Chain A
Amino acid sequence: MASSQQRRFDSINGDCMLAKLDLRKISWLPSGKTLVIAVPYLWMLLFFLVPFIIVLKISFSSAAIAIPPFTDLLSFADETLKITIEFGNYLFLTEDKLYWVSYLSSIKIAFTATVLCLLISYPLAYAIARAQPTWRNILLMLVVLPSWTSFLIRIYAWMGILKNNGYLNNFLIWLGAIDQPVQMLNTNFAVYIGIVYAYMPFMVLPIYTNLVKHDPSLVEASLDLGAPPWKTFLSVTLPLSKNGIIAGSMLVFIPSVGEFVIPELLGGAETLMIGKVLWQEFFSNRDWPIASSVAIIMLIILVVPILFFHHFQSNELKE
Chain B
Amino acid sequence: MNPFVEIQGISKRFDDFVAVRDTNLSIEQGELFCLLGASGCGKSTLLRMLAGFESPSEGRIFIDGTDVTTIPSYERPVNMMFQSYAIFPHMTVEQNIAFGLKQEKQSKTEIRKRVEEILELVEMPKLAKRKPHQLSGGQRQRVALARILAKRPKLLLLDEPMAALDKKLREQMQLEVVDILESVNATCIMVTHDQEEAMTMASRIAIMHEGEIIQVGTPNDIYEMPNCRYTANFIGSVNLFEGKVIEDKADHVLIDTTKLEKPIFVDHGITGTLGMDVTVAVRPEKISLQREPFDAPHNCASGTVRDIAYLGSHSIYHVELENGKILLVNISNLERGSEQPIWEEKVFLNWHPHSSVVLTQ
Contact = CB atoms under 8 A, between A and B. Distances in A.
12 contacts: A217-B83, A220-B73, A221-B82, A223-B53, A223-B74, A224-B53, A225-B79, A225-B99, A225-B103, A225-B147, A226-B104, A229-B74
Contacts of A224: 51-53, 73-74, 78-80, 148
Interface of A: 215, 217-218, 220-229, 231-232, 235-236, 239-240
B99 A222 contact: yes
Contacts of A220: 51, 53, 73, 80, 82, 86
B102 to A, nearest CB: 8
Interface string B68-80: 0000111100111
Identify the 3 closest CB pairs spanning chains A and B, nearest first: A226-B103, A225-B100, A221-B86
Given A224-B80, A226-B103, A232-B74, 18 more contacts: A218-B86, A218-B88, A220-B80, A220-B86, A221-B87, A222-B99, A223-B52, A223-B53, A223-B73, A224-B74, A224-B78, A224-B148, A225-B74, A225-B99, A225-B147, A228-B74, A229-B74, A240-B89
Contacts of B167: none
Contacts of B84: 215, 217
- The winner among A215, A222, A226 for most chain B CB atoms within 10 A is A226
A222 B103 CA distance: 10
Contacts of B12: none
Contacts of B75: 226
A228 B52 CA distance: 13
B90 interface: yes
B318 interface: no
B86 A226 contact: no
Determine the interface band of chain B, counting residues with CB < 8 A from chain A. Answer: 20 to 34
B43 interface: no
Given A224-B51, A225-B99, A217 B74 contact: no
Main secondary structure of the interface of A (DSSP, over half): helix
A59 B169 CA distance: 67
Given A220-B73, A240-B89, A227 B99 contact: yes
Contact of B74 (A215, A227, A236, A239): A227
B304 to A, nearest CB: 50
A238 to B, nearest CB: 10
Contacts of A239: 90
A225 to B, nearest CB: 4
Contacts of A236: 88
B90 A240 contact: yes
Contacts of B103: 225-227, 231
A239 B79 CA distance: 23
A242 B325 CA distance: 63
Contacts of A240: 89-90
Nearest to A231: B103
B352 to A, nearest CB: 48
Interface in B131-176: 147-148, 151
